[in-house]
A and B are shown apart, each in its own frame.
Chain A
């Protein structure tokens, strides 16, 4: 059994803005979480959040175009892990609290899109979005 331990440090990973490569960011994120005391179920959910955030950058910031950089900066610190997903594409609107509001008895009211931000805000402890020098940064923090 792998011993869970605490460490400190920052790593920067970059992929091409291609849908087929997004899973790599998720796998990397889960591996970092597995190093922390977070339970495996939470590691999986964080992987999901990273996939959602990177997919959003590829699909919306870069409009599905490949050959742009999507960057993930992971910082392990005392009692928390922070992920920053960065792109240089079209900025999102300022973040609002996402809701999943639908009538379970009326399937036409169930959303088909826009669930990513809801997932991220549900799983992560802190989420913020900034644009600095044409670089969009979605910061997601999980404490343990």
Chain B
């Protein structure tokens, strides 16, 4: 899976460029992000603008990464497409992750936290 990353302040902005995070790609997605977390990136902004489909395997990978942070950081998300948002609401994950309409809004909020 092609994933781009960019440091903005103390955040790592991560943008997956495949259209799907599913059982065939979730392990690779998780592995790449896990390495970045292991390298000390604690504040992750996941830009899902290119993702049109996530299944429970993809969702499980994101939850696993949040657990890896063990309360020492967070994963926030932005640019979530409507069908993906529907999955987040269905599984109540929208209560777990802070979600922003745009990357600019997320960066502004996360920068304010410092």
Residues of A within 8 A of B (CB): 19-20, 22-23, 26, 41, 44-45, 47-48, 51-52, 55, 58-59, 100, 102, 104, 107-108, 110-113, 115-116, 118-119, 122-123
List the A residue with the shortest CB-CB distance to B71: A107
Taking a contact as CB atoms under 8 Å apart, the answer to whether B92 and A100 are in contact is yes
Taking a contact as CB atoms under 8 Å apart, the answer to whether A55 and B57 are in contact is yes
Number of residue pairs across A and B with beta carbons under 8 Å?
A: 75
Residues of chain B with a CB closer than 8 A to A122's CB? 90
Could you list some 13 contacts between A and B, CB below 8 A?
Answer: A23-B20, A44-B86, A45-B83, A45-B87, A51-B53, A59-B23, A104-B92, A107-B71, A110-B96, A112-B60, A119-B91, A122-B90, A123-B90
B79-104: which residues lie under 8 A (CB-CB) from chain A?
82-83, 86-87, 90-93, 95-96
Residues of chain A with a CB closer than 8 A to B90's CB? 45, 119, 122-123
| Alpha-carbon distance A115/B60, docked complex (angstroms) | 8
List the B residue with the shortest CB-CB distance to A106: B71
Q: Taking A104-B92, A115-B91, A118-B91 as contacts, is the C-beta distance between A51 and B67 under 8 angstroms? A: no
B68 to chain A, nearest CB (A): 10
Taking a contact as CB atoms under 8 Å apart, the answer to whether A113 and B60 are in contact is yes
A19 to chain B, nearest CB (A): 4
Interface residues of chain B: helix, strand, loop or mixed (majority) = helix
Residues of B within 8 A of A (CB): 20, 22-24, 53, 55-57, 59-61, 63-64, 66-67, 71, 82-83, 86-87, 90-93, 95-96
| Choice from A20, A26, A111, A119 contacting B63 with Cβ under 8 Å | A111
Q: Taking A115-B56, A115-B59 as contacts, is the C-beta distance between A41 and B86 under 8 angstroms? A: yes
Residues of chain A with a CB closer than 8 A to B66's CB? 107, 110
B99 to chain A, nearest CB (A): 13
Residues of chain B with a CB closer than 8 A to A44's CB? 83, 86
Taking a contact as CB atoms under 8 Å apart, the answer to whether B55 and A104 are in contact is no
Residues of chain A with a CB closer than 8 A to B93's CB? 110
Q: Taking A115-B60, A118-B91 as contacts, is the C-beta distance between A107 and B24 under 8 angstroms? A: no
B77 to chain A, nearest CB (A): 15
